Amino acid sequence: MKPNEQKPKLPSPPGYDQAYGQSYELAFDRLTEVDPTILGMRSGASLGPGQGIKLDFLNFPVIVDIRQRSVTAAGFPLLSISDKLVILHYLVTAGGKPASGKLISFKDLPEGSGYFPTFYKRAIAPIVNIFNKSVGDLIGAAKNIGGTQIAMGDLGLSIPVFARVTLNWVFWRGDDLLPPEGSILFDASITDYLPVEDVAVLCHSVANRLAA
């Protein structure tokens, strides 16, 4: 993505359906302007049949067909319009920055601190509740979307979403004084691949799958 180019945004209420449709078309408009070879180098995607782009999303192969303006994932339980927009925004935003090795939280993202209470309520709190009640179910749900356990907190789960974007969920058990807690950590390079709004939507989407 060019330095002076505005990052894509997800729609806000009211008029979700129309706004999502417009955002979807705009994302494809921008995708047609990107050289496929450069796109692949930056995002880790590859060229598919025809004008298709192949990439993995939560351990499922996805085809983005530029000619048909479609986003499909064989075998994926549900690919919502917001999932499709996040996938498209990842492709058009990806700048190719290497992973920094530095993990940050949502609070550390631009304007993330102000939105964090809502982010926590939607994406973290429900999964902390599952962790507190059934660790086995949580680990199993994470494995279903490509997640693996990592040595962080009392339970750490690393879930690769795209080739260049991984969500690291960390949980701590509660005691008599403190309730159980959780966090989602990202490599500091994540803003080179997704707008902050998409990060929030993505985490909420993954949380829904962990809770299913």
Task: Give dist(CA 125, CA 53) in Å, integer.
Answer: 35
Helix, strand, coil percentages for the chain (3-state, nearest 5) = 45, 20, 35
Residue 134 lies in a domain: yes
Same domain, 72 and 129: no
Cβ-based neighbours of 91, under 8 Å, separated by 6 or more: 31, 34, 39, 43, 45, 53, 55, 64
Question: Which range has the top average pLDDT, 17-31, 66-80, 90-104?
Answer: 90-104
In this structure, the chain runs to a length of: 212
Domain boundary pick from 30, 65, 93: 93
Same domain, 121 and 185: yes
Instruction: For residue range 155-174, list pLDDT tens digits in order.
Output: 999 999 999 999 999 999 98
Q: What radius of gyration, in Å, describes the C-alpha atoms of the chain?
A: 17
Same domain, 115 and 201: yes
Same domain, 115 and 197: yes
Number of domains comprising the chain: 2
| pLDDT confidence of residue 5 | 53
Q: DSSP characters for 138-154?
A: HHHHHHHTT-EEESSSS
* pTM tops 0.85: yes
Residue 10 lies in a domain: no
